[in-house]
């Protein structure tokens, strides 16, 4: 046997003796094994546990192996399944492989043939066997797996990486995974949301400050560049960084030195920079909102995280994983989603991506009194999500847009008057209008 990463296998057979024998054999080979004596029991196991491969007998009462395979694909598309039978025939084998069964083996199963089929199924399907560096990323999606391959490659050097993705897709989790896979993994990973803090506070957080630098600075304070020394600094929502700080960040990237606020001394740093944004930075550059030279410094490698709608095959896997986490924290008796509930989760649009899925499942666990999450409860949670709170950055951007529109309506498009009411100079006000793609002329009478 060749060395293999441990995988979690589900064995399904209505013969308890054969089930026990095969389970012992595979356990001795280093696999984690769970067993079920019927197709229905196997589906219940899949709802509760994270399985990498299913091995099922073909001939079983109530639900045979092919019916089980069909049910598995409804709730966990792409799950590899190997069918075993003592009544092997060419029509059975053809029917099984046409439906998508990975392999069809005849009992008594040759040991080496079974091990080979297991290895090939796990390799080709690339199941979500957690490697330590990306243990927080649960996926079987080919899109995500290709992204993770790229992430692991770029992790080996200090090249700057810009992660693009909609809100809720997991940009910080991917950045953490890159850090974990890098030679810097034993050093700090420090993250900051550049759009969540006022300019002066963000500057102080990043670069630190000397005593007396501003009112309230009663002592020296190191910034996040220093806190991340030897490790990785993750700049989330870099597209929302104020223009003056973009200049200072560019200088840091060029010189590998930082100067705390109120200090006249530069400090050398050894930090890897990862950044992320949900914004279209080339468009922001065209509007003069983001520096082109900084963009090219940050965007040496670009990684784009797919939306949850683009990786629907991950929804059952994520949903079951998140359900177990939520249940362990709040209601250990909650075990699974009903079949209809899982179908509804897979059919949803998920504009809020994985973050929205987390919220829906937390709501379901909080509101259920049953071990099985019902379709009606999922429907209720999804309807509630339609009025869910936006992120801080989304809420701020929406407020700015509404505020600017109201100012322009009141002043009938008079930029000078509107800027004065907003407490901004004309240049700053024009930049705000540009950022939100507003034209003052549209408000003139």
Domain regions of the chain by residue span: 8-125, 134-304, 308-385, 392-443
For the chain, 445 residues long, the average pLDDT of each consecutive 10-residue run is 64 92 91 93 85 90 87 77 78 67 85 90 58 82 91 90 95 96 93 88 88 72 92 96 94 93 89 96 93 95 94 91 89 90 92 94 93 93 69 78 87 88 85 86 83
CATH 3.40.50.2300 describes domain 8-125: yes
Strand boundaries in 197-308, DSSP class E: 208-209, 221-222, 232-236, 257-258, 267-268, 272-277, 301-304
- CA 241 to chain CA centroid, Å, is 23
Beta-carbon contacts of residue 151 (< 8 Å; ≥ 6 apart): 134, 174, 177, 178, 181, 303
Which one-letter DSSP state was computed for residue 229?
T
- The DSSP code sequence of 325-385 is HHHHHT-TT--EE-HHHHHHHHHS--TTHHHHHHHHHHHHHHH--SSEE-HHHHHHHHHHH
Three-class DSSP category at 401: helix
CA separation for the pair 77, 87 (Å, rounded)? 27
Structure tokens at 152: 């692991």
pLDDT at 2: 39
- Calculate helix-pair angle for 353-367, 315-329, nearest 10 degrees: 50
Structure tokens at 291: 């520096």
134-304 has the same fold as 8-125: yes
Contact predicate 365/331, CB 8 Å: yes
Q: Is the peptide bond before 108 cis (omega within 30 degrees of 0)?
A: yes
CATH 1.10.8.60 describes domain 308-385: yes
pLDDT at 393: 73
CA separation for the pair 172, 133 (Å, rounded)? 14
CA separation for the pair 197, 284 (Å, rounded)? 20
* Domain 134-304, second-level architecture: 3-Layer(aba) Sandwich (3.40)
Strand boundaries in 95-188, DSSP class E: 103-106, 161-164
Structure tokens at 180: 């974990």
* Residue pLDDT, tens place only, 207-231: 988 877 676 666 788 899 999 999 9
What's the chain's length in residues? 445
* Residue pLDDT, tens place only, 3-16: 445 788 999 999 89
Three-class DSSP category at 213: coil
């Amino acid at each position: 046997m060749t060395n293999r990463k441990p995988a979690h296998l589900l064995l399904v057979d209505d013969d308890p003796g054969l089930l026990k024998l095969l389970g012992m054999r595979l356990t001795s080979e280093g696999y984690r094994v769970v067993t079920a004596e019927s197709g229905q029991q196997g589906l219940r196991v899949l709802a509760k546990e994270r399985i990498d491969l299913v091995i099922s007998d073909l001939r079983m009462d109530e639900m045979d192996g092919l019916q089980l395979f069909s049910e598995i694909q409804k709730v966990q598309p792409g799950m590899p399944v190997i069918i075993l039978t003592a009544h092997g025939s060419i029509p059975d084998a053809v029917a099984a492989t046409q439906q998508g069964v990975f392999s069809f083996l005849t009992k008594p199963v040759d040991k080496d043939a079974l091990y080979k089929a297991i290895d090939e199924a796990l390799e080709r399907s690339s199941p979500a066997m957690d490697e330590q560096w990306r243990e927080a990323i649960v996926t079987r999606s080919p899109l995500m797996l290709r992204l993770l391959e790229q992430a692991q490659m770029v992790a080996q050097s200090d090249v700057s990486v810009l992660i693009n993705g909609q809100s809720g897709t997991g940009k910080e989790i991917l950045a953490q995974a890159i850090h974990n896979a890098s030679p810097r993994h034993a050093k700090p990973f420090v993250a900051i949301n550049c759009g969540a803090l006022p300019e002066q506070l963000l500057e102080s957080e990043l670069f630190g400050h000397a005593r007396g630098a501003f009112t309230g600075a009663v002592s020296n304070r190191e910034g996040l560049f220093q806190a991340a020394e030897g490790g990785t600094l993750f700049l989330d929502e870099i597209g929302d960084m104020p223009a003056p700080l973009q200049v200072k960040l560019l200088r840091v990237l060029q010189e590998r030195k930082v100067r705390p606020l109120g200090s006249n001394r530069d400090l050398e740093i050894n930090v890897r920079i990862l950044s992320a944004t949900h914004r279209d930075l080339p468009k922001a550059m065209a509007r003069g909102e983001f520096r082109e030279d900084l963009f090219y410094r940050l965007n040496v490698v670009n990684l784009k995280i797919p939306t949850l709608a683009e990786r629907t095959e991950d929804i059952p896997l994520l949903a079951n994983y998140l359900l177990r986490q939520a249940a362990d924290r709040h209601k250990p008796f909650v075990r699974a989603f009903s079949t209809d509930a899982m179908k509804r989760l897979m059919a949803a649009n998920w504009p809020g991506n994985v973050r929205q899925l987390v919220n829906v499942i937390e709501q379901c666990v909080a509101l259920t009194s049953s071990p099985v999450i019902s379709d009606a409860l999922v429907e209720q949670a999804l309807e509630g999500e339609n009025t869910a709170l936006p992120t801080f950055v989304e809420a701020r951007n929406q407020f700015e847009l509404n505020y600017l529109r109201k100012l322009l309506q009141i002043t009938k498009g008079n930029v000078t008057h509107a800027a004065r009411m907003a407490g901004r100079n004309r240049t700053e006000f024009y930049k705000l209008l540009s950022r939100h793609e507003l034209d003052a002329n549209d408000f003139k009478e």
